[in-house]
């Protein structure tokens, strides 16, 4: 199973990725971790990446795709993987699709955790207030202003990417504002071939005011109504003739002659 999780900062991608790793035996792949591992391994590609990172420049898409290709070919990624932080642009997505197709593979799903950004901002503000009240140290990203900038960057980068995967037919949209177990259930449902959303209600067709069998005659009725003209005329003629009166039968009396006696 090959997946991509999309969602803005604070949408819960990390939490859901850990759940999928534990349930399906997948590997969560972060492009930042893969690039640092390649540099540490001191491979020819890693040395090239190291030189680019030393200059403070961004790695070209073809190098990043090559790093991903090497990583997904390792034994622990045979069951599948979840890509984290890659792709970020449509050209990167196209390059990833070409690389997978070269190995006879394709993405199974791109899961988008859709959230309400205003609700995310309120969530961060509430968390910051609670941590401050408890005297806990704040993380660098526990800042509404920082989150606002990251959300704006996410929208600019990811909206074209969402449109691309929607055209490819692999995008699955999940309500990321639901409780964590419900989000996990929805993701599992779409991965098993179902739909996370309830099916739309069936709309009854508007009545045209005609009943079946009224108006146009069916072929069967037309066939039954067609009769030979001669038979119809005979029946009409028979009906128009007056019926003859039947006289009641009378019993005829037989006259019996009596013989005179002979004396």
Provide the annotated active-site residues.
13, 88, 127, 139, 150
**How many whole angstroms separate alpha carbon 46 and alpha carbon 28?**
20
| SS3 state of residue 188 | helix
Which class for 35: exposed (0-12), middle (13-18), buried (19 or more C-beta within 10 A)? buried
130-140 residues labelled b (16+ CB within 10 A) or e (exposed) = eeeeeeeeeee
The token duo for 54 is 């030393």
Q: Are strands 27-30 and 81-84 parallel, antiparallel or unpaired?
A: parallel
**How many whole angstroms separate alpha carbon 107 and alpha carbon 98?**
11
What sign results for the dihedral spanned by CA atoms 145, 147, 150, 154?
A: negative
The token duo for 111 is 């899961």
**How many whole angstroms separate alpha carbon 99 and alpha carbon 230?**
82
Question: How many residues are present in the chain?
Answer: 263
- What residues contact 169, with CB distance under 8 A and at least 6 apart? none
């Amino acid at each position: 199973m090959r997946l991509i999780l999309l969602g803005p900062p604070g949408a819960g991608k990390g939490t859901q990725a850990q759940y999928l790793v534990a349930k399906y035996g997948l590997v969560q792949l972060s492009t930042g971790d893969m690039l640092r591992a390649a540099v540490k391994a001191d491979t020819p590609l890693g040395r090239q990446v190291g030189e680019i990172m030393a200059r403070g420049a961004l790695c070209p898409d073809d190098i990043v795709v090559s790093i991903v290709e090497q990583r997904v070919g390792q034994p622990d990624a045979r069951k599948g993987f979840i890509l984290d932080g890659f792709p970020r642009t449509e050209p990167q997505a196209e390059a990833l699709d070409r690389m997978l197709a070269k190995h006879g593979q394709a993405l199974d799903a791109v899961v988008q955790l859709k959230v309400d950004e205003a609700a995310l901002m309120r969530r961060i503000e509430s968390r910051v207030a609670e941590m401050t009240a408890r005297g806990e140290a704040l993380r660098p990203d526990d800042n509404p202003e920082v989150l606002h900038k990251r959300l704006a960057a996410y929208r600019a980068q990811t909206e074209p990417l969402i449109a691309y995967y929607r055209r490819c037919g692999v995008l699955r949209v999940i309500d990321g504002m639901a409780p964590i177990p419900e989000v996990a259930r929805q993701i599992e449902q779409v991965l098993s071939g179902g739909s996370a959303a309830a099916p739309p209600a069936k709309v009854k067709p508007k009545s045209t005011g005609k009943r079946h069998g009224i108006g146009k005659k069916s072929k069967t009725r037309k066939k039954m109504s067609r009769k030979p003209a001669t038979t119809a005329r005979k029946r009409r003629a028979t009906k128009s003739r007056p019926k003859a009166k039947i006289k009641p039968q009378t019993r005829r009396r037989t006259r019996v002659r009596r013989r005179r006696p002979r004396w």
